[in-house]
Amino acid sequence: MGRGRIEIKKIENTTNRQVTYSKRRNGIIKKANELTVLCDAKVCLIMYANSRKLHEYTSPSTTTKKMIDLYQQTVGVDLWSSHYEKMQNNLERLKEINNNLRREISLRKGEDASGLTSLAEMVDRQENMTNALSEIRQRKYHVIKTQTGTTNKKVRNLMEIYRNLIQELEMRGEEPYGPIENEEEYRAINEYANAMPNLYALRLHDSHPDDLHLHDGVGGFGSYCLRLA
């Protein structure tokens, strides 16, 4: 009784698929080598597994490049020119994007205002910068709020530890404020705990939008700023 015919479809099991690929790959390479030896044929195989691992075979009398060049001559196509043309088009597109970004940066820094030819463009540019500044300010407030919450949580944990230690000492009948082994560390923690409740009180000073100015360098963003209480 002969072997049953195998249905040709994708093997769903990953392990079985890899095993089948390995066996059949070796079989194809063996057949290619037989064609090379028996028939003096030039054979070039390029295979990629599902894992993108490369496997190849080229007859000893030739190279992969020679085979591709021979293919181009026979079919009448130029793969390299087509690829080069695509690369040139992509390069021109990237150059245009880069130039637009450079111009946008220059306009935002006020270095090339000559590109703004109408009042409408200037007003639109001002609105864009105002919106960008507002978004940056909101992100800054969010970061400060998050850091403040984290710091306050640490302070509360330290105070809770401190109260528990005092309570434990009182239960033992020991003097809570007796000699301290590490006086500098105790003083630092105590000062830190006392200072933190007032350190991050924030006041937002808001002026009229017309007073908004952008300064060079490290300057600020107009009269919008955070001040420590």
Could you write out the three-class secondary structure of 35-87? HHHHHCCCCEEEEECCCCCEEEEECCCCCHHHHHHHHHHHHCCCHHHHHHHHH
pLDDT digits (tens, 9 = 90+) for 30-76: 999 999 999 999 999 999 988 889 999 999 999 999 999 999 889 88
pLDDT digits (tens, 9 = 90+) for 166-180: 888 888 876 555 555
pLDDT digits (tens, 9 = 90+) for 68-109: 999 988 988 887 887 888 899 999 999 999 998 988 787 777
Contact 46, 56 (CB under 8 A): yes
Give residue limits of the domains in the chain: 14-77, 116-228
The hierarchical CATH code for the domain 14-77 is: 3.40.1810.10
